[in-house]
Amino acid sequence: MKVPLWKIAHARSGDKADRADIGLFARDAETYAVLKREVTRERVAAHFAAMISGPVEIWPLDNLLALKIVLNGALQGGAARSLRMDNLGKSVAAQLLRMEIETGSDPGQTPVSRR
Amino acid sequence: MKSVRIGAGLGFYGDSWLPIRASIERGGVRYIASDHLSELTLAILQKDRQRDPGTGYARDCVPMLADLWPLAAKHGVKFVLNAGGLNPEGAREAIARLFRERGWRATIATVSGDSVLEKLDALREAGEALSHMDSGADIATVRERMLFANAYLGAQPIAEALARGADIVLTGRVADAALTLGPLVHELGWRWDDWDRLAAGLTVGHLLECSGQGSGGNFGSAGAWAEIPDYAHLGYPIAEVREDGTAVITKPPGTGGRVSFDTVRQQLLYEVHNPHAYYSPDVVLDMGTLRLADEGGDRVRVSGASGAPRPARLKVVGGYHDGWMGSGIVGFAWPDAYAKCEKAAEIILALARERGWTFEDTCVEYIGYNSLLGANADPSHRDELNECFVRIAVRTKDKKLADAFGRLFPWLGLSGPPYIGTMKGVAPAKELLGIWPTLVRRDLVESKVEIGMERVG
């Protein structure tokens, strides 16, 4: 089934030069395997097609159950020359959390780790 | 085993220092590592210094120390701050003046030599291309417009200043994490080629450099953010670091916020590019071997850092003048709030066109609809919004034009669509800055680094 990322993961974004970068964090190992499989460079590039002019890079971190995602050419040249309200890319992670992925079975709604 | 506790200071110029009190009073910290400089803060400081050569530092360090020093002195806590900005000596003078007025004693050190703006041509002659790290562009295209250019120095001069007896170390541009790594190396006696321990220190510094973001602030999530306790009294993160490089991230007891596996890993990957090669002047960290163990009770154990030898070149970030932004904001109430915003944008842009104004770039965003989510905004409720604001921003080389653009907006108040909300949004021209990241051979910079010491009282 199709599920938006916000139901199963959490994320924070920031800026460096003309890049927005996102950490995407799975709640558990099972969800991490799904993220690793489904959150591909192609899909992320398509999700941000209107905003970015460069390639997408993704590094999976098995030890953190996380994906590091970098959007190149995402900030109109950089935060201090961007005309946007979100010149620092702080809400880029929220944009990513709206992306839908295929999860197989219903994963429910738990974005953070269970203690 | 020997260990030391270091507390986070500010995370940006203008951040609150009040949470630091709890770290000193009941967090057991020996040092506060305070980061006042974001990537482009130096541009603000450069403008200050052009107006008054005595300034050019992050001025919040003076009231901050005025407030915290009596407590810090009582607990034997030292400060490492990059608040020196473009003028560490100026910051030292201001603080020394304050301390003399109050009759306080301290040894204040400065670390300077990071600015390369005046040396760009000499560096070029020494064979450094200084081309843009990402695009490869020639620096000649922006050389005349460069407002600042500073190398990111490492932790060595900070550790040395502490070894010479500094109570307060004021630096210019250093790697943010160096503010923490310096005291760690000084206290724990790590060697400068012990890459794994330096990598562990870099990890800790990175976790502390954004103040509240390391302890539950800005916890990016749907719903879960609301479970962070007591934001109003959020405690800044504290690291307890052992000689072997393992660390516990925590926060002062009785404060808000949360230190957990989730909040710590969010900060760990924040503003990181390749996590297997996180560069600093002192070591290159691979985050792929790190282990985060949530011990509960706002304690997360961090271990397993792997380091590779420090890079041969230092990163330099320059900022150059890149035109002006003109902008205005106007809002409308229901009914047809979004449609009226669209109409207002159409009117403003038509007026600009009729005046013969042209812009290099125009950005129209609807606040309350898509100004933060962009193309990923959900359009299904767009036409039923209770209210909506439109913001139009333009890019131009002409400052007068940028100023004039905002002044098109007030006319809408009586002659545009109905139920207009505000006219507060007319903004004056704002200078835009391009950023110039580049690399430079470290010996060309490090040979010019100076440590100054002043004893007050």
Q: Residue A115 has what pLDDT?
A: 60
Distance from CA of A27 to the nearest CA of B (A): 9
Buried residues in A6-28 as b, exposed as e (16+ CB within 10 A)? bbbbbbbbbbbbbbbbbbbbbbe
Inter-chain CB proximity A61 and B365 less than 8 Å: no
Q: Residue B424 has what pLDDT?
A: 67
**CB contacts, 8 Å: B306 with chain A:** none
- pLDDT at residue B425 greater than cutoff 80: no
- pLDDT at residue B340 greater than cutoff 80: yes
Inter-chain CB proximity A23 and B363 less than 8 Å: no
- pLDDT at residue B269 greater than cutoff 90: yes
**CB contacts, 8 Å: B297 with chain A:** none
With CA atoms as reference, report the closest residue to B327 among B361, B350, B354.
B361
Query: Closest-CA residue in chain A for B394?
Result: A83
Q: What would the pLDDT profile of B26-49 be if each residue is shown by its tens digit?
A: 999 999 999 999 888 998 898 899
Distance from CA of B84 to the nearest CA of A (A): 21
Which percentage of chain B shows pLDDT scores above 90? 96
Q: What count of residues does chain A have?
A: 115
**CB contacts, 8 Å: B265 with chain A:** 23, 25, 64-66
With CA atoms as reference, report the closest residue to A49 among B218, B222, B376.
B376
Could you tell me where the DSSP H helices lie in B305-354? 337-354
CATH of domain A2-102: 3.30.70
Non-local CB neighbours of B61 within 8 Å, separated by 6+ positions: B34, B36, B81, B83, B91, B94, B95, B170
Could you tell me where the DSSP H helices lie in B129-278? 156-163, 178-188, 195-208, 261-268
- What sign does the dihedral B398-B400-B403-B405 (CA atoms) show? negative
ipTM above 0.85, yes or no: yes
Band the pLDDT of A105: cuts 50, 70, 90.
confident
The residue type found at A29 is A
Q: What is the dihedral of CA B264, B270, B274, B278, to 10 degrees?
A: -70
Q: How far is CA A15 from the centre of its chain?
A: 13
Which residue out of A32, A112, A115 would a mutagenesis test of the B interface target, given it has the greatest number of B Cβ atoms within 10 Å?
A112
Q: How far is CA B108 from the centre of its chain?
A: 23
Inter-chain CB proximity B434 and A113 less than 8 Å: no
Q: Return the CATH number of B319-437, one of 3.30.70, 3.90.1720, 2.60.120, 3.40.190.
A: 3.30.70
Residues B238, B27: contact at Cβ < 8 Å? yes
Inter-chain CB proximity A80 and B319 less than 8 Å: yes
Q: What would the pLDDT profile of B73-102 be if each residue is shown by its tens digit?
A: 999 999 999 999 999 999 999 999 999 999
Non-local CB neighbours of B22 within 8 Å, separated by 6+ positions: B235, B236, B252, B254, B255
Distance between CA atoms of residues B189 and B11, nearest Å: 27
Establish if B109 touches chain A: CB-CB under 8 angstroms: no
Q: What is the mean pLDDT of chain A?
A: 96
- pLDDT at residue A4 greater than cutoff 90: yes
The residue type found at B219 is F
With CA atoms as reference, report the closest residue to B184 among B451, B2, B4, B1.
B4
Among B134, B220, B296, beta carbon nearest to A93 = B220
Every domain range in chain B assigned CATH 3.30.70:
319-437
Distance from CA of B274 to the nearest CA of A (A): 7
Reduce the DSSP state of residue B265 to 3 states and report it. Answer: helix
How many other C-beta atoms lie within 10 A of the C-beta of residue B48?
19
